[in-house]
């Protein structure tokens, strides 16, 4: 195309398709985009099943939005009516129990998928250049997910909803000078109450759809760089890749069905096992539950919050723990991505994962004695891992020479 022939340049934008497909595609290049990004898109052929969890998380998100819409048809965001409207869904709405249990359990499985997805990114170095933005959009979505889940948990207006909301919103009062004003703005009142549930309902929807928006950016940035893979080596030829469809789609389908079998098992046989029995008691501002425990997926962060003896410090540590993860692409000094070739860093990452579960356990225990001590050690390791081990291990460790995708697959066969 030459700069003095604008019509010639425009012709290159013409659709390769004819008929209706061509008519649409030359006006809205959706068909071309879908073909390039979801049919022919080259993906390293060495991906393992860890790479299926992004797609699984997306299916969870879609399921949450669909069930959320149907719940919204019947739910009433008011302190007087919320609890009863949820029970009405459970008892009188056709298949309401299924929709509500699905919504409640999908959240947990969304977090399970996301935790595995993030672990995958850490273990195989997917956060490193040039995928920093993919990673940052991902972490941002994770923060929004936590916000959405927290807001959603208050909506049934049971005891744990109410007191969880009271404890967590109270954290904002730790912010110097403006804390109380922010708290009042958030609650719409001086206490968690009718105006709180109303705005939490709106914000629950708003944040949920913000996540959908960020998925788009997550995927666009991913498709600029292409997927990482277990070797961390970029594909050197077409021969080291497969097309997204049907190779990746069928693989992800297998993983997704398997994942949903586990979900179905919990959903249909233990639908309340991940919840708290206190939330079947109507919210009562006069009665404080014996132990206020957040949902299981918040427990590691709750443990970090309580590990710091100072309120503001605890809040900073809790939010900081996730924000600090965002610095990892720049703090990790190693040239090698994948833990398969980084013997020392591999141990650090595995310890980080184990530490995550330790913190999760501590978050569910009362903040006393040995539990606080272990939470502090866990919190210390979290930050040590990011700020000290990531830069230091990168310098000191002697990584092995990363295998190419072809050689990796050969070695795996042997």
370 near other proteins, rule: CB under 8 A: no
Q: Does 76 bind other proteins (CB under 8 A)?
A: no
User: Which of 59, 119, 217, 247 lies at the binding interface for other proteins (CB under 8 A)?
Assistant: 247
Residue closer to other proteins (CB basis): 73 or 258:
258
Q: What residues have CB less than 8 Å from 170, skipping those under 6 apart?
A: 183
The Cα–Cα gap between 187 and 197 comes to 8
**What residues contact 414, with CB distance under 8 A and at least 6 apart?**
none
Looking at 250, 370, 398, 401, which residue binds other proteins (CB under 8 A)?
250
Q: Which of 74, 223, 245, 311 is catalytic?
A: 223
Q: Which of 65, 167, 186, 274 binds other proteins (CB under 8 A)?
A: 274
Q: What is the DSSP letter of 47?
A: -
Is 254 a binding residue for other proteins by CB under 8 A? The answer is yes
Taking CB under 8 A as the criterion, which residues in 92-111 touch other proteins? 97-98, 101
**Residue 251 touching other proteins (CB under 8 A):** yes
Q: Which of 65, 79, 90, 384 binds other proteins (CB under 8 A)?
A: 90
| Sign, CA torsion 101/106/107/109 | positive
| Smallest distance, other proteins to C-beta of residue 379, A | 18
Q: Interface with other proteins includes 48 (CB under 8 A)?
A: no
Range in contact with other proteins (rule: CB under 8 A) among 111-119, 263-271, 345-353, 380-388: 263-271
Report the residue number, 251 or 342, with the smaller CB distance to other proteins. Answer: 251
DSSP secondary structure string, 131-198?
-HHHHHHHHHHHHHHHHHHHHHHHTT-BHHHHHHHHHHHHGGGGSTTTHHHHHHHHHTSSSSSHHHHH
Rule CB under 8 A: say whether 264 interacts with other proteins: yes
Contact call for residue 268 and other proteins (CB under 8 A): yes
The reply on whether position 9 binds other proteins by CB under 8 A is no
Q: Which is nearer to other proteins, 280 or 319 (CB)?
A: 280
In sequence order, what are the residues at sequence separation of 6 or more whose Cβ sits closer than 8 angstroms to the Cβ of residue 124? Answer: 50, 228, 229, 230, 232, 337, 338, 339, 340
Q: Which residue from 157, 71, 159 is spatially nearest to 107, judged by alpha carbons?
A: 71
Q: Is 295 a catalytic residue?
A: yes
Q: What is the DSSP letter of 235?
A: P
Q: Is 14 in the site for other proteins (CB under 8 A)?
A: no
Cβ neighbours of residue 44 under 8 Å, at least 6 residues apart?
226, 227, 228, 229, 231, 235, 240, 241, 405
Q: Residue 382 burial (CB < 10 Å; 0-12/13-18/19+)? A: buried
Is residue 50 close enough to count as binding other proteins by CB under 8 A?
no
- Cα gap 240→234, rounded to integer Å: 9
Whether 227 is a known active-site residue: answer yes
Question: Would you call 338 a catalytic residue per the annotation?
Answer: no
Q: Which is nearer to other proteins, 172 or 296 (CB)?
A: 296
Distance of CA 398 to the CA centre of its chain: 32
Site track 337-366 with other proteins (rule: CB under 8 A), x = hit: -----------------------xx-xxxx
Cα separation of 284 and 150, whole Å?
Answer: 19
Per rule CB under 8 A, count of chain residues that contact other proteins: 46
Q: Which of 295, 334, 338, 365 is catalytic?
A: 295
List 25, 240, 252, 278, catalytic entry = 252
Whether residue 252 lies in the annotated active site = yes
Return the number of other C-beta atoms located less than 10 Å from residue 190's C-beta: 9
Please say which residue, 20 or 286, places its beta carbon nearer to other proteins. Answer: 286
Active site residue 410: no
Smallest distance from the beta carbon of 293 to other proteins, in angstroms?
5
Q: Return the structure tokens found at 268.
A: 């249909």
Measured over the CA atoms of residue 254, residue 113, residue 138 and residue 388, the dihedral's sign is negative
Work out whether strand 42-44 and strand 241-243 pair parallel, antiparallel, or are unpaired: antiparallel
Q: Say whether residue 319 binds other proteins (CB under 8 A).
A: no
Residue ranges in contact with other proteins by CB under 8 A: 45, 84, 87, 90-91, 97-98, 101, 242, 246-247, 250-251, 253-254, 257-258, 260-261, 264-265, 267-269, 271-274, 276-278, 280-282, 290-291, 293, 296, 299, 360-361, 363-366, 409
Residues with a catalytic annotation lie at 223, 227, 251-252, 295
């Amino acid at each position: 195309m030459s700069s003095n022939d604008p019509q010639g340049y425009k012709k290159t934008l013409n659709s390769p398709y004819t008929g209706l497909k061509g008519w649409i595609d030359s006006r809205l290049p959706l068909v071309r985009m879908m073909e390039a990004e979801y049919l022919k898109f080259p993906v390293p052929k060495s991906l393992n099943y860890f790479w299926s969890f992004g797609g699984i998380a997306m299916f969870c998100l879609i399921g949450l939005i669909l069930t959320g819409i149907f719940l919204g048809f019947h739910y009433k965001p008011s302190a007087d009516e919320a609890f009863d409207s949820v029970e009405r869904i459970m008892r009188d709405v056709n298949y309401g129990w299924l929709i509500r249990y699905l919504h409640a359990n999908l959240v947990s499985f969304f977090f399970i998928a996301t935790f595995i997805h993030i672990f995958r990114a850490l273990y195989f170095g997917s956060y490193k250049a040039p995928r920093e933005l993919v990673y940052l959009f991902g972490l941002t979505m994770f923060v929004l997910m936590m916000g959405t889940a927290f807001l959603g948990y208050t909506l049934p207006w049971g005891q744990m909803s109410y007191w969880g909301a009271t404890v967590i919103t109270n954290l904002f009062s730790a912010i110097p000078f403006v804390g109380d004003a922010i708290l009042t703005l958030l609650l719409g009142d001086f206490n968690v109450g009718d105006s709180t549930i109303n705005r939490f309902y709106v914000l629950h929807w708003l944040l949920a759809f913000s996540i959908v928006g960020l998925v788009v950016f997550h995927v666009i940035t991913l498709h600029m760089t292409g997927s990482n893979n277990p070797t961390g080596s970029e594909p050197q030829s077409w021969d080291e890749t497969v097309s997204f469809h049907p190779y990746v789609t069928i693989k992800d389908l297998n993983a997704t069905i398997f994942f949903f079998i586990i979900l179905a098992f919990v959903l249909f046989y233990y639908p309340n096992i991940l919840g708290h029995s206190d939330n079947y008691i109507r919210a009562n501002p006069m009665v404080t539950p014996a132990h206020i425990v957040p949902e299981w997926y918040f427990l590691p962060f709750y443990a970090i919050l309580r590990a710091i003896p100072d309120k503001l410090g605890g809040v900073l540590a809790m939010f900081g723990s996730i924000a600090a993860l965002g610095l990892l692409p720049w703090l990790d000094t190693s040239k090698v991505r994948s833990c398969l070739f980084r013997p020392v860093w591999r141990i650090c990452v595995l310890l980080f994962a184990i530490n995550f579960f330790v913190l999760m356990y501590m978050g569910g225990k009362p903040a006393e004695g040995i539990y606080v001590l272990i939470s502090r050690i866990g919190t210390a390791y979290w930050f040590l891992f990011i700020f000290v081990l990531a830069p230091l291990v990168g310098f000191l460790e002697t990584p092995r020479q990363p295998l190419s995708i072809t050689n990796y697959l050969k070695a795996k066969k042997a």
